[in-house]
Structure formats: structure tokens, C-alpha cells
Chain A
Amino acid sequence: MATQTQGSGAVSAVLMAGLAGLVVSLGIAFFNLMSGGHSAFNTGSDGVSWGLPVVNYVFFALTSTGLTLVASVAMTFGNKAWYPIAKRCVWLSLVTLVAGFASLALELGHPFRMLWAVPLNAQLLSPLNWMGIFYSVFLVLGILKFMRIHSGDWSSGTSKQIGLAALVTELLAGGMLGMAFGAMAMRPMWYGNLVPLYFILTAACTGGAFAVLVTCLTYGGTDKMPEPVRRLMQGSLPMAFAALLGLTILVIGYRTVIGLWSNADGLQVWDAIVASPWYWIEAALLIGAFFLLLQRKALAVAAVMVIGGFFIDRYDFVIGGQLLPLFKGSWVPDLIAYTPSTTEWMLTLLAFSIAFFGWALGEKMLNLGAAPQD
């Protein structure tokens, strides 16, 4: 079974748009950061310490986890119908992780110090530490796996073992990212032992969305797709995606109701989240995408809706957990005002640009539509 990438004009357009986004975002972000340091962000010690750059990181790191899950359907769990998008997903999982890392690196006070300070002084009790280890190990394993399948080795014992190890490390990394938030008992909005599961579930959704979107962009529509790809995109993929998305919508709904219902101090933020139009935009996007997927229609549109919806969800989660002052003398349960700065938005543009530029470059140069010959 072989699937040759056709390479639609959309790939070239995305390549150029991604490059333009990279130049613009890097230019503005570096200028602002070099001239004003992190005061170019709207984060603060008395309020939101983790701002939009961390939202970007969480979004893209979990998307990487989700893409690895999608790739594993064929490569680890043996469903051969999913092979036509497997190589693309492996490549994109690497690119999205780099996109997330880039946003995070520009948010850290000393990103280069991290390179020696973490290995030499690793705090084994810190979820952040383990998350970094697992994502770094995945980056190596993911590159090795991609090199294997790029050279045609899809199913040797070594290739499969690397793929399985990559999947496990990605799941552990995504789970650890969930634990980084879920372990914070002092912030009830985040606290909970099921947060890692929530992260992995939602990761699968964004991973699926990116996989569908870039596949549609590659071929320029289902009618132009090679038969194996078209069968997948009109068959099991949208159904599996819809089932996963439907389940996730339910979980988001339950989280919201629990947040609104409970009296625990810190959960008042749910009132503000639900009062915001963004919450309802997220709901409309996700529910709309669910029905589009069920009907197997406008898959690219559905994918964009899922990406948009979950970006809002990540924002609400990361920022919402910090909006109530922990201990600032504000006895009235008031909310901290936070709006991302231009520099922070530039890091969002940077992360998206890296992801799409990287994908388009791979599509042009690395035959991402390849699949095993048998």
C-alpha cells in the first residue's frame, strides 16, 4: 500500500504564510523582549504568573501527544487503514512539540540555564521536571521513529519498539503536564487526580484535528485524495474523532457544572468563565464540529473548529486557575484582570507559524503521505 502525496497549492500557501508568520512574530517578539524583558508580558506576581505563552505551550505539547496517539492507531495497534496519515502525524507531533517548546522558552527567565540546571539538580518530586524529561525523551524517540519510517522501515521489531516507547513517553508526558496542574491543591480550579486523564483525552482531540486539517490541506479536498486516504477520511477516522469529541464535550460539560455547583473557595472563577462569550463560542465550535464529523462533511472546517475550541479551553483552564487571588487581601472574591499583551499574542502566532511552516516543509520535502508497501 503506497500513498503518494499530491501536494496541493494549499501546502505552498501555508508554507509561505507560516514563513511570514515566523518572521513577523519573531521580529516583534524579540524586539519587545530585548527592549523591555518580560515586562512586555501582562503577567504579574500579584496575579497571573503563567500567561498566554504557557497556554500556547500546553496547547501544542498536548497536540503533540494527541498526534502520537493518532499515529499509533496504525503503527502500534495495527489498524492498517490508518497508515496513510501515520507518517504525517509523526512528523507533525515533532513539529508541534517544537512549537510549544519555542513559546515556553521565550517565557522562561533563563531558558539556557535550564539545559544544565535541570539535569544537574533534578527535583524528582516536581511534575514539571518529569514532564520535561518525558517530552525530551519523546523528541529523541520521535525523531528516531520518523527516520525509520522515512527510510521505509515501518514494521521491523526495532521500529515497532521505538514507536511503542514513543507512545508511552508521550502519554506519560501529557499526563505529567496534567499533573503539573492537577497536583495544585491550593488552586481548586486545577486540582484533581483526573486532570492527567482530561489532558490526554483533550490531547487526542486536538491531535485528531491537526491530523485531519493537514491531510485535507495536502490533497485539497476528499475528492482529490488517493483512495486509501479517502476511505479513511470518509470512514473510520471522522467517526472515531466524533466519538472522542462527543465524550470530551460531555466531560467539559460536567467540569463546568461541578465548578458552578461547588462552593469550594477558588471555584468562583467558573461563574466568570461561563459568563464570558468565549465559553459559549468554544461550546458552539466543539458541538458544531461534532455534528459535521458525524455527517462526514466539511472535515477541514470541523478540524479548524476543534482547534479553535480547544485553544479557548486551554486558555480558560490555564488562566482561569489563576484569576482568583490566592492571598492578596482581597476578601471579596474578585477576579484579577488579565489580557494578553501584543508580545504574548506574537508568541501564539510564532507557535502556530512553526507548526504549520514545519508541517508544510515536511510535506514538500519528506513525502509525508508515504505508507508501507504491503
Chain B
Amino acid sequence: MAKWGMVIDLEKCTGCQACSTACQMENNRLPGENYQDVLYYTEGRQPTPTLKWFPRPCMHCEEPSCMHVCPTKATYKTEDGVVLIDWDKCIGCKYCMIACPYGVRFYTDEKPLIEPNIKQVFKGDGDLSWNPPYKGPQQDPKHGVGIQPNGVVSKCTFCYHKISKAPKGTADLDESNPELVEYVPACVRTCAPKARYFGDLDNPNSQVSRLISDKQGTRLLDHTGNKPQVYYLTGGGAAGSAVPGTRSNKKA
């Protein structure tokens, strides 16, 4: 069984947000609820501030604190290493959102980020939060895939509806391979500068494993002990790309 993981090369990432847009379309997300986001921030002060960006999906941690705090086991980890939510079990207590160090979980019953409220324009059927005019065919609440119902928490699934159908034993889901392209997560498939890689972390010959090994892949907020399965390549920070460890503290 594979242990799926992602590698994001920050030296290649241009911050174009194509990954966010593809994710939004694939997973019926609304503004402010993107499973995959690129965070922009500035470092340094006038007169030499630098604009930086940082792509951030769910880290699908090896030791996910969101899973351990969920009182109903609605958040669970699959055998292939993906952290998912069973929407049929979620009671909407939001403890997982509190416990996630990365802020990548979403409760949809909130004030809209933009007006008009798209959920009111395209009202959902039954329990579903909205009815997007374009939507994928998949609706799999047991794996938290599809249109998010009201009253539950959602998150990035690594496009589980795609990767779970990949042939057994696949080392890398490479979008340049025509036989595998349909199984590749949307954000990886659409990445124009090819900054994203997706594959089996347990396979030492997979491209993701080799990249992590050869280019010293690092993990975000590693001190939390959650052990993300998303790794970042920084090139040693020489090109200004780096995994920020923390905010500047108040004495900075």
C-alpha cells in the first residue's frame, strides 16, 4: 500500500494560483474556503520589503492532531496515508479546526467572503451547502469528497476520488504520463511550472522520495510533531525561497 505524499518545489513555484483555481473547480469550493491556497506575505521592512508566497494544501500528517481530537472519529487516516473526513459522522464541533496547526479546515456555514452570497444564488439541494453550476460527478460523503454539506467540516482530500483509483504499485502520479494523468490531484496536474510532485513516500525509488532525499525536503512547522506528508524544497533558501518556521516574535 502506498503512502501518498506531495513535494512542492518553492524555487519553481511562481505563486500563480493555478493550483488554487484547479482545486476550487475540482472540489466545488467557494472563495475563502479553498482547500489549496497560496499565502502571500511580506518580509523585511521599508525600503526593502520583499513579497513572498507560500503554497499550502492540507499536510495529510502522519500524526494528525485533527484526527486525534475528533470525538466521533469522523476524521480518519486511510491505509494509503490520506487524512479524510466522513461527513456522515461529523457533528460540526470544529475541534479539528482548533487542533490543526496549519489552518486548512473549513466550516461552510459562515458569513460569505464576497457578496452576493453565492450559496444563496445557487441554493443547495437537501443538506448540501450550495449547488454549483459546474460540478464534478463525484459525491462521496464517507470520504469527504464532493459538495460540502451544511454543519460539517471539510478539507483537502489529495483529490481522493482520483488517487484512490490509481493502479496499485504506482510510484509516482505524474501528470506527464498519459496513462496516469486522470489519477493526478488537480493542483499537481495544473501546476504550470511543474513545482508539484505526487507519489509514494514509502517507495525509495519514487520521484518524491528521491527529491526529498536529494534536495533536503523540509516540512512545515515540524516542531508540532504532526509530521506532514507534504514536503517543501527550498534549494537551501539561496533563491529566497524558504519554509518559514514561525512568525517574527514580538521583540523583532
Chain-A contact segment, one of B100-108, B198-206, B207-215: B100-108
Interface residues of B in 205-251 (CB under 8 A from A): 220-221, 224-225, 244, 246-251
Contacts A109-B151, A322-B98 given; indicate if A328 touches B103 (C-beta within 8 A). Answer: yes
Would you call B103 and A333 a contact (CB within 8 A)? no
Residues of B within 8 A of A132 (CB): 71
Assembly CA distance A111 to B151 (angstroms): 9
Assembly CA distance A4 to B246 (angstroms): 62
Assembly CA distance A332 to B101 (angstroms): 17
- Overall SS of chain B's interface: loop
Interface residues of B in 58-107 (CB under 8 A from A): 65, 68-74, 89-95, 97-107
Residues of A within 8 A of B150 (CB): 37, 109
Cβ of A155 under 8 Å from chain B: no
Would you call B89 and A117 a contact (CB within 8 A)? yes
Contacts A110-B152, A331-B42 given; indicate if A126 touches B94 (C-beta within 8 A). Answer: no
Interface residues of A in 318-355 (CB under 8 A from B): 322, 325-333
Cβ of A8 under 8 Å from chain B: no
Would you call B95 and A121 a contact (CB within 8 A)? no
Chain A, Cβ-Cβ closest to B43: A331
Residues of B within 8 A of A365 (CB): none
Interface residues of B in 107-152 (CB under 8 A from A): 107, 109-112, 150-152
Would you call A50 and B102 a contact (CB within 8 A)? no
Assembly CA distance A326 to B105 (angstroms): 12
Would you call A46 and B32 a contact (CB within 8 A)? yes
Interface residues of B in 148-205 (CB under 8 A from A): 150-153
Cβ of B4 under 8 Å from chain A: no
Cβ of A100 under 8 Å from chain B: no
Assembly CA distance A333 to B247 (angstroms): 7
Would you give the 0/1 interface string for A206-226, flagging 1 where the beta carbon is closer than 8 Å to chain B?
A: 000000000000000000000
Contacts A117-B91, A128-B71 given; indicate if A326 touches B247 (C-beta within 8 A). Answer: no
Residues of A within 8 A of B153 (CB): 109
Q: How many residues of A are counted as interface, with CB atoms below 8 angstroms from the partner's CB atoms?
A: 49
Would you give the 0/1 interface string for A114-148, flagging 1 where the beta carbon is closer than 8 Å to chain B?
A: 10011001110111110010000000000000000
Would you call B106 and A128 a contact (CB within 8 A)? no
Would you call B110 and A44 a contact (CB within 8 A)? yes
Cβ of A49 under 8 Å from chain B: yes
Picked from A45, A123, A327, the residue with its CB within 8 Å of the CB of B110 is A45
Cβ of A34 under 8 Å from chain B: no
Residues of A within 8 A of B248 (CB): 331-333
Residues of B within 8 A of A43 (CB): 107, 110
How far, in Å, is A352 (CB) from chain B's closest CB? Answer: 23
Chain-A contact segment, one of B5-13, B18-26, B33-41: B33-41
How far, in Å, is B230 (CB) from chain A's closest CB? Answer: 13
Would you call A265 and B111 a contact (CB within 8 A)? no
Residues of A within 8 A of B90 (CB): 109-110, 113
Residues of A within 8 A of B3 (CB): none
Chain-B contact segment, one of A10-18, A20-28, A160-168, A178-186: A178-186
Would you call A108 and B111 a contact (CB within 8 A)? no
Would you call A186 and B72 a contact (CB within 8 A)? no
Would you give the 0/1 interface string for A70-85, flagging 1 where the beta carbon is closer than 8 Å to chain B?
A: 0000000000000000
Assembly CA distance A111 to B71 (angstroms): 13
Residues of B within 8 A of A122 (CB): 71-73
How far, in Å, is B45 (CB) from chain A's closest CB? Answer: 11
Cβ of A364 under 8 Å from chain B: no
Would you call A126 and B105 a contact (CB within 8 A)? no
Assembly CA distance A151 to B221 (angstroms): 58
Assembly CA distance A322 to B98 (angstroms): 8
Residues of B within 8 A of A325 (CB): 103
How far, in Å, is B148 (CB) from chain A's closest CB? Answer: 11
Assembly CA distance A314 to B205 (angstroms): 53
Residues of A within 8 A of B32 (CB): 45-46
Chain B, Cβ-Cβ closest to A45: B106
Cβ of A68 under 8 Å from chain B: no
Chain A, Cβ-Cβ closest to B75: A123
Cβ of A39 under 8 Å from chain B: yes
Chain A, Cβ-Cβ closest to B250: A268
Cβ of A187 under 8 Å from chain B: yes
Would you call A49 and B107 a contact (CB within 8 A)? yes
Cβ of A64 under 8 Å from chain B: no
- B contact residues vs A (CB 8 Å cutoff): 32-33, 39-43, 54, 56, 65, 68-74, 89-95, 97-107, 109-112, 150-153, 220-221, 224-225, 244, 246-251
Q: A180-B95, A331-B247 are in contact. List 13 more A-B contacts (CB 8 A).
A: A42-B111, A49-B97, A109-B93, A109-B107, A110-B152, A126-B68, A126-B95, A128-B93, A264-B249, A327-B56, A327-B103, A330-B41, A332-B247
12 contacts between A and B (CB under 8 A): A37-B151, A45-B106, A109-B152, A109-B153, A110-B92, A114-B93, A125-B69, A186-B101, A263-B250, A322-B98, A328-B39, A331-B247
